[in-house]
């Protein structure tokens, strides 16, 4: 789309340091063989690949470096990459746009605010994009309130102490609620759906029971759900990541079960209707009916795309089943997302002292594209000139919607307009 307007762009995806802790061996080998069973054998059955065996998730002592990995290290890593790739600051200011989805939006905001050794971060870029992640300095309009910023600063000092003493785990992959377990299962299901979508799945037969996974099954499905259902590989992936099956915005609107269905867990879809709390719950929980196969134990159930689906099933499957942990960082720093929230509400203590340039939005063009997760904020404070709504989009639909897509079109229009301005500046 950009090339039609004479704009040629490279897209850089910045991995955070913790992503290199993940063992991708089984995923990559399964994609290379076009066979999900390779990954099942590696992660669940102790099989070796190239002399390497999955050793399980790293103990806390090998994750300790993440206790200090927060906003400061993330933005410095960004600048290091930018400086290596485009050494001249003036050239970066003409050519470089920063942004991202979800946490990537606030990180772009913090990059612009940061006082680097050679000046404010915003002086090195041409523009900023946030995709379902706020890039405004004070999105809730409370950071300037002294009691709020003071409380945020105190909470940040407590966070720093808790991570350094080990009271707070260094990463999200610790204890019985390990996100890595969910990432591995969903990645394998995606590889199976990519290469053998219509085959009856056997994946869950090999997955050990765990508090996170089976807790979610108990919450979302009667009698523990899909471990004993007859599903195709495509339907298993839809069960794990489809918006008709999952209750949260962390799922894609990418189709539904093929064949007869019935409703499940109506209580979850009723929660957003609770007075006062319902508006906030509605930002993260769906109000659409949740579905399951009508005869899950007897009839083999497949998956079908629908004409009104927002996201592409094939694109989502590829993104999850590409041999990497692209969607879910299995070792996300605990400190980074908590520090992000505290910085957005005014914390400027300790490692956040570099956030000094609150006025960056006066100096650089910026655009936020927001889905349903930000509906409560939009309702409270009204529309903004630098924001575009994506109605009906879940947090994950923002990444994989079918064309034409308001997200892609808005990004292309913003880059086209501001790349031209940057070239002539």
Q: What is the Cα 153 distance to its own chain's centre? A: 26
User: 5 — phi, psi (to 5°)?
Assistant: -100, 15
Q: What is the per-residue pLDDT for 283?
A: 65
Q: Is 43 within 8 Å of 188 (Cβ atoms)?
A: yes
- Predicted confidence (pLDDT) per residue in 26-60, tens digit: 999 999 999 999 999 999 999 999 999 999 999 98
Q: Is 378 within 8 Å of 57 (Cβ atoms)?
A: no
- For residue 28, list its beta bridge partners: none
Tokens coding 27:
């995923």
3-state secondary structure of 248: strand
Q: What is the mean pLDDT of the chain?
A: 90
Q: What is the per-residue pLDDT for 315?
A: 93
Alpha-carbon distance of 71 to 73, in angstroms, equals 6
Instruction: Say if residue 126 is exposed, middle or buried (CB neighbours under 10 Å; 0-12, 13-18, 19+).
Output: buried
Q: Which residue has the tokens 């933005």?
A: 75
Tokens coding 45:
């059955």
Q: Is 288 within 8 Å of 278 (Cβ atoms)?
A: no
User: 49 — phi, psi (to 5°)?
Assistant: -130, 120
Q: Is 67 within 8 Å of 163 (Cβ atoms)?
A: yes
Alpha-carbon distance of 303 to 91, in angstroms, equals 48
Q: Where are the domains of the chain?
A: 3-11+69-170+334-424, 173-320
Q: Is 167 within 8 Å of 301 (Cβ atoms)?
A: no
- Predicted confidence (pLDDT) per residue in 313-324, tens digit: 999 999 999 998
Strands 290-293 and 256-257: unpaired
Contacts of 196 (CB under 8 A, 6+ apart): 36, 233
Q: How many CA atoms lie within 13 A of 199 on its CB side?
A: 14
Q: What is the pTM of this model?
A: 0.91
Q: What is the per-residue pLDDT for 327?
A: 77
Tokens coding 197:
């979508």
Q: What is the per-residue pLDDT for 190?
A: 98
pLDDT along the chain (425 residues), means of 10: 77 88 96 98 97 93 92 96 95 95 95 96 97 86 85 94 89 84 95 98 95 87 86 97 88 94 78 65 73 94 93 94 85 93 93 96 96 78 84 91 90 88 56
Tell me the CATH number for domain 3-11+69-170+334-424: 3.40.50
Alpha-carbon distance of 72 to 70, in angstroms, equals 6
- Predicted confidence (pLDDT) per residue in 203-258, tens digit: 999 999 988 889 888 888 887 789 999 999 999 999 999 999 988 888 999 999 99
Length of the chain: 425
Q: How many CA atoms lie within 13 A of 74 on its CB side?
A: 29
């Amino acid at each position: 789309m950009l090339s039609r307007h004479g704009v040629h762009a490279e897209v850089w995806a910045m991995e955070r340091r913790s992503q290199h802790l993940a063992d991708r061996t089984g995923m990559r080998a399964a994609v290379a063989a076009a066979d999900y069973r390779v990954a099942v054998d590696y992660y669940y059955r102790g099989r070796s690949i190239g002399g390497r065996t999955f050793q399980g998730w790293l103990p806390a002592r090998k994750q300790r470096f993440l206790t200090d990995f927060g906003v400061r290290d993330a933005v410095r890593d960004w600048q290091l990459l930018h400086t290596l790739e485009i050494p001249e600051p003036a050239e970066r200011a003409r050519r470089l746009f920063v942004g991202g989805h979800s946490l990537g939006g606030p990180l772009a905001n913090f990059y612009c605010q940061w006082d680097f050794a050679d000046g404010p971060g915003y002086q090195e870029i041409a523009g900023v994009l946030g995709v379902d992640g706020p890039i405004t300095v004070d999105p809730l309009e409370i950071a300037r309130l002294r009691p709020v910023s003071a409380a945020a600063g105190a909470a940040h000092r407590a966070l720093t102490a808790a991570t350094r003493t080990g009271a707070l785990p260094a990463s999200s992959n610790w204890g019985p609620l390990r996100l890595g377990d969910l990432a591995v299962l969903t990645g394998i299901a995606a590889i199976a759906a990519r290469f053998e979508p219509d085959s009856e799945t056997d994946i869950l037969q090999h997955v050990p029971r765990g508090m996170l996974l089976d807790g979610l099954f108990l919450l979302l499905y009667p009698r523990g759900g899909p471990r004993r259902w007859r599903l195709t590989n495509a339907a298993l992936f839809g069960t794990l990541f489809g918006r008709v099956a999952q209750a949260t915005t962390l799922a894609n609107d990418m189709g539904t079960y093929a064949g007869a269905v019935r409703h499940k867990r109506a209580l979850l879809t009723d929660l957003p209707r609770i007075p006062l709390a319902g508006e906030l719950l509605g930002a993260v929980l769906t109000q659409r009916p949740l579905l399951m196969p009508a005869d899950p134990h007897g009839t083999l159930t497949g998956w079908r795309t629908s004409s009104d689906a927002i996201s592409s099933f094939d694109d989502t499957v590829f993104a999850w089943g590409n041999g990497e942990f692209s969607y879910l960082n299995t070792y996300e720093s605990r400190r980074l997302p908590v520090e992000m929230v505290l910085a957005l509400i005014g914390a400027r203590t300790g490692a956040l002292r570099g956030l000094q340039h609150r006025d960056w939005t006066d100096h650089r063009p910026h655009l936020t594209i927001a889905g349903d997760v930000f509906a409560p904020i939009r309702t409270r404070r009204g529309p903004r000139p630098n924001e575009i709504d994506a109605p009906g989009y879940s947090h994950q639909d923002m990444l994989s919607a079918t064309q034409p897509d308001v997200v892609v079109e808005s990004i292309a229009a913003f880059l086209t307009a501001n790349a031209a301005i940057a070239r002539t500046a």
